[in-house]
Structure 1
Amino acid sequence: MDLLSAAYGATSDDEDATGPPSSAPVATGSTSFAPPPLKRPRWESHQYLPPTHSFPQQPLLNAATPLASPSSGRYISKRERALLASSQAHVESGSPLPQLTSTEFDCADGSITYTNLRADILHSLRCQPKPGPSTSFPLKLSVCLKGHTKAINCVDWSPSHGHLLASAGMDHTVHVWNVWDKGNTTARVLKHHTAAVKDVRWSLHRPFLLSGGLDCSVQLVDVVEGKVMKVFKEDQAVEVIKFNPSNPDIFLSGGSKGSLRLWDIRCGLVTKEFHRNLGTILDIDFSADGRQFISSTDTTRSNISENTIIVWDVMRQVPLSNQVYTEAFTCPCVRYHPREASFVAQSNGNYIAIFSARPPFKLNKYMRFEGHGVWGFPVKCNFSLSGRELASGSSDGCIYFYDYKSARLLRKIEAFKEACTDVAYHPVMPNVIASCSWTGEISVFE
């Protein structure tokens, strides 16, 4: 049971159709036809709201087409009788889906509900923000969250339950934070991994967490029930994971052996693999339509970075680019722009490079974002909701804000005494940003 189904009093945007269109295809067997992915929203659209519509439930893998029973009175062909017999035998043999298992978590007193939030935060989450660029930067420290005992690799806001923040740590744990709760901000401490957790991502429309780590596994956890839904075993340490924005049941993983795999969480199987002689996958990111993704690896030789950044075609499983970045630096972070046909790469040369997202994916040699430091830390960057600002962590513990159009440094704020490894804009409130540090702290600014 989803305890947050009525979060913030929002209602679903979907409405049942009055009747099926005459040209709609007819589903057979257990196949369900999903609507085509939405087009990229226009600048004037309500861009700050997270997706609140409900997605259709996927059928079970062993669901058979309804067949007539022998007592229905009509003629049943031999083929239909055989299908009926096989489906009954399959159901009696048991479902192939793995059983839910309880995962270990602490802090039972913590709550993931929104009932104890600050009034101003609850109002901001319920109200629809005005479209357009933000009018101010996050300046004031809102919340300081402590609980990890080692470095934090990343933080991620829930797109459907905006008061929840997840963090992945080198201490083998995933923390779920009820950030503005007036009581206990630590909602869950998940201990389902046996080694360092390198990445964590919220499901796009449910309170499920996907996490990957050095124990060579990706695990899907129901945060409400505290149960592991599925375990995806790999032959490599998992460095990074990302959901496909056009299909919430598909995610991509990259690991230490250079393998890139596309998984389907409904069946727990790999649907596509992307092969090339790569080093450790440092980061990946999907385009807005989910048809392409970029990968960053640490494959270098002499004074050139070969295959450091590659743009891939998801359907054809082929690389579309060829040495778009030729400097002898690795890039621990790559990000698509949310509105324009471009992407950026955080370089260990202490700058952020910008590229065209259209072939031949050229590097902009006349503009780069400079001023912050990387110095070998896995420092990440992220765009604001409007795409007009770019925020980056830094090895000096500060958050740097740049103007996307001019690459001009707008402001920097001190977040930590040690390196700031990740920054994440809130999906609803444009002037809220979360950051994490190499010492295990999280700071939320507003």
Structure 2
Amino acid sequence: MESLVDYEDSDSDCESSNTLGCSRQLKQNQDMTVSRPLGLKPTESHPENIHWTSRHGRIPSVRTDFGSALVKSHISTEGLPALPEGHIGWERQYTPSYTDKPLLNISSRVAIASPDSLEKTTSQQTSSGPSQIIRHKSSDTVKRPQHVSSGIRPYISKRQRLGPTSASGDMSSKQSVEEASTKQTRCVLRLSEVCERVKPYLLEKPGAAGIPRRLLRGLEGHEGPVNTIHWCPVAQLSHLLLSASMDKKVKVWDAVESGQCLGVYPCHAEAVRDACWTPCGRRFLSGSFDNKAAITDVETGQQLVKVDNQFKVMCVALQPSDEHVFLCGGYSPVVKAWDARVSKAVKLYSASIQQTLAILFLKGGREFITSTDSVSRDSAERTLIAWDYQTTARLSNQIFHERYTCPGLALHPTGDCFLAQTNGNYMAVFSSQRPYRMNKRRRYEGHKVEGYAVQCELSADGTVLATGSSSGSAHFYDYQSTRMLHTLCAHRQPCLRVAQHPVLPSTAATCDWGGGVKVWH
């Protein structure tokens, strides 16, 4: 076996005779495969390095002998820089690759010629002289020659291998769309099912509320303080937990079973201060520092209603008797009532205050209470204000006479009273009937607020009162005796809210100023 390299200044007669012998041998071995025998080491007959040398800037043709088949190859110079006149030449080192399989890797610059084309090339070179070189135009595809067996794979360009979706941007965008659609499908399927842990309690009569004592799971994902959390009010969907954070996002979690985040809703451009479920459990209302209040569909993520209050929204509340009306309060002396069907403000409630901290509708929805930051040295006559919903008139502003603001309000589910979380480190009880007097003999103490927006909440049967604290603990009180039942060391950051599960006994969720949400059982 030999490896022969013909240069353009070599003898033409010798070249033509060698080429004709090569073509005859190729015709006899058309079905033979090209491979390196097993255990054969490179020798002089199989050189590892073959140098291609050209004089006067021209590229010679190369004949190589691999095994028993001779291949006539021509090198294309398309795309290479032209060499100046008088240049001695250039060299390129080529290292052939041998494999045990019948495969032949050929460079994109080398085109394999058929025996017929070899004879034509020989005749053309003989007639035109040894210095004439035939250049083959390079193409993206290389047709399989007739004399090569089916075991040899031709060269395929990278563009053809990757296809039209080779651009990384297109691939990444398609993958992101597919991932988003998959997540959305999972969310819809999850909302259409009933949690296995909740099923046994749906047919039973609700029992007495218990006290959670151990951690069930932590829900990580928020990057800012979580201002509020709410369990879904629908019993079949009560495994869903809604959270609103200062990181501009509202999230829905499967907090009972898997602990996964089922939906992320970036429906606001600024921090989300408050959010709550609608009675159907398929939508939620949210208010933000971007002056907007929005109603968003949980399944599709579409914003059904979005209104501009022209002030930073601190609190939102749904009208119990009319599901299409909601109230918004914040950095303004005015509380606005919006009709979701027309996206217009239908009522305005104005008072001599700077901002509204919380809104609470009383039973029936005919009256509601607002908590403000209006506190003077001598009195706090406008700290809690009672309003008539229909007439927008102030019913009373002499409810709370102590000089503390109230960042949170809670309505008792069965009794005629409501509670207010005060910055005096205690919770006060008020009558929900006119003239809304405070019960001075009942006070829940033992936790700290220290200026944080700590909220309080009663259990579904009204027997257990829960609240967070600035120290990070969750406190549980007996509503009748005002005795503290248990203190849960929940967070290292201030605990802003404790939400008790409406169906599962002894289950609650807590959120903190550091962005953490935890579920306790």
TM-score category (smaller protein)? 0.7 to 0.9
Return the offset for 1:413: 0.9
After TM superposition, list the pairs within 5 Å mapping 1:309-348 onto structure 2.
309-348=384-423
**Alignment match, 1:163:** 239
Verify the 8 A CA contact 2:418 2:429 in the aligned structure 1: yes
**Alignment match, 1:419:** 494
**Alignment match, 2:62:** none
**Percent identity between the two aligned chains:** 35
CA distance in 2, matches of 1:259, 1:433: 34
Verify the 8 A CA contact 2:207 2:505 in the aligned structure 1: no
Unaligned runs of 5+ in 1: 1-104
> SS in structure 1 opposite 2:305?
strand
**Alignment match, 1:179:** 255
Verify the 8 A CA contact 1:285 1:293 in the aligned structure 2: yes
> SS in structure 2 opposite 1:248?
coil
Q: Which amino acid aligns with 2:500?
A: Y
**Higher RCO structure, 1 or 2 (CA under 8 Å, sep 6+):** 1
TM-score using structure 1 length: 0.72
CA distance in 2, matches of 1:381, 1:117: 30
Aligned CA distance change for structure 1 residues 195 and 352 (closer, same or farther; 3 Å): same
Q: Does 1:153 align with 2:224?
A: no
**Alignment match, 1:221:** 296
CA distance in 1, matches of 2:207, 2:345: 39
Return the offset for 1:275: 1.3
**Alignment match, 1:60:** none
TM-score using structure 2 length: 0.62
CA distance in 2, matches of 1:156, 1:245: 17
CA distance in 2, matches of 1:137, 1:250: 35
Greater CA drift, 116-125 or 338-347: 116-125
> SS in structure 2 opposite 1:240?
strand
Report the structure number with the largest CA radius of gyration: 2
> SS in structure 2 opposite 1:327?
coil
Return the offset for 1:117: 8.7
Return the offset for 1:128: 2.7
Q: 1:351 aligns with which of 426, 433, 456?
A: 426
**Alignment match, 1:241:** 316
CA distance in 1, matches of 2:191, 2:347: 42
Q: Which amino acid aligns with 1:143?
A: R
Per-residue deviation, residues 245-279 of structure 1 (Å, max 9, x unmatched): 22222211111113211111111111211111122
**Alignment match, 1:141:** 215
Across the aligned residues of Structure 1 and Structure 2, the Cα RMSD in angstroms comes to 2.1
**Alignment match, 1:6:** none
The structure carrying a bigger helix percent of its residues is 2
CA distance in 2, matches of 1:352, 1:435: 18
**Alignment match, 1:230:** 305
Aligned CA distance change for structure 1 residues 398 and 301 (closer, same or farther; 3 Å): same
Q: How many corresponding residue pairs?
A: 339
Aligned CA distance change for structure 1 residues 121 and 297 (closer, same or farther; 3 Å): same
Q: 1:407 aligns with which of 482, 490, 493?
A: 482
> SS in structure 2 opposite 1:109?
helix
CA distance in 2, matches of 1:282, 1:190: 24
Aligned CA distance change for structure 1 residues 402 and 144 (closer, same or farther; 3 Å): same
Return the offset for 1:285: 0.8
CA distance in 1, matches of 2:181, 2:512: 22
**Alignment match, 1:59:** none
